[in-house]
A = this chain, B = another copy of it.
């Protein structure tokens, strides 16, 4: 059995990080030439981008490319790495939208710029300055992604080939994010609706479209695109379900988020929908009282966690993850997928569904 973070993934991630680091250095220099005022913008995007991150979208694109049988060139690695900057935009904007103070255990971008405003004793509202800076930096990351792709050095034909998938990926991200924001504003839970959000936010944006991007880059067949829809959609749903479990049961030291964070936030996920579905009257009373209370104590968090386990909701979602992962892996039987691609996609499926962060 391959390790969920086997050496091939590590070396691919190193390649991706190197390409990102190179690009951001040039981008930062460009900004600094415009004005010294932009120095913190460049520095903080660079830190945010390079400090951590699983690089899932570039890795799936890389896997899609390898599956075509093509040997990736350094230019192609730059092209797949550019997808990470879309994700930087999504995370920075997400934190502004959710008003989240931390990201991966460190202050979120808008909090960093709020602090800069305070330190430099600037005039006006520090929190408004923080949000405005973060909105612009998310926009910049989105534009940088495109610029990194366009200047990656892949051939004109390769670039023209990937653009439709690149665009669909970005439209589906924004659509999925809106579906999620809207879902969070509803007063009821629904597994079905949560799975639809998962399909767009994770199935398509995180897995299917990056794979398609890689296939297009390697000039792969329509068969391969079809195989990756069959592999990507269920795996993305499983990925999101794992995310939902980690948001409630994750170890704060590993996730970088406080324990039970999603319970305080009242995040409507498939796991929570299943819990409400399966709860008896007394459990329902506790859920109604505590779920979404921003001031929950650790004891109250434990109480809610117990209910999620006792109703059988947790094991229900775990078995859904298992089933979805199986469906996903079955799609790898397609003959069109190269052996190297197949092995990598098996590892990535493990990483996406069994991860702890």
Interface residues of A (CB under 8 A from B): 27, 30-31, 34-35, 37-38, 41, 89, 93, 96-99, 117, 122-124, 128-129, 131-133, 135-140, 142-144, 146-147, 150-151, 156-157, 159-160, 163-164, 167, 170-172, 174-175, 177-179, 181-182, 184-187, 196, 200
Contact = CB atoms under 8 A, between A and B. Distances in A.
A257 to B, nearest CB: 19
A135 B175 contact: no
A108 to B, nearest CB: 14
A39 to B, nearest CB: 11
Contact of A139 (B35, B142, B186): B142
B135 A147 contact: no
Given A97-B128, A133-B178, A159-B160, A147 B122 contact: no
Contacts of A30: 171
Given A31-B175, A37-B182, A179-B37, A150 B136 contact: no
A349 B322 CA distance: 64
Nearest to A183: B37
A96 B163 CA distance: 30
**How many copies of the shown chain assemble into the complex?**
2
Nearest to A182: B37
Contacts of A181: 129, 132-133, 136
B182 A167 contact: no
Given A142-B143, A185-B123, A174 B136 contact: yes
A146 B171 CA distance: 10
Contacts of A137: 174, 178
Contacts of A143: 142, 167, 170-171, 174
Contacts of A163: 150
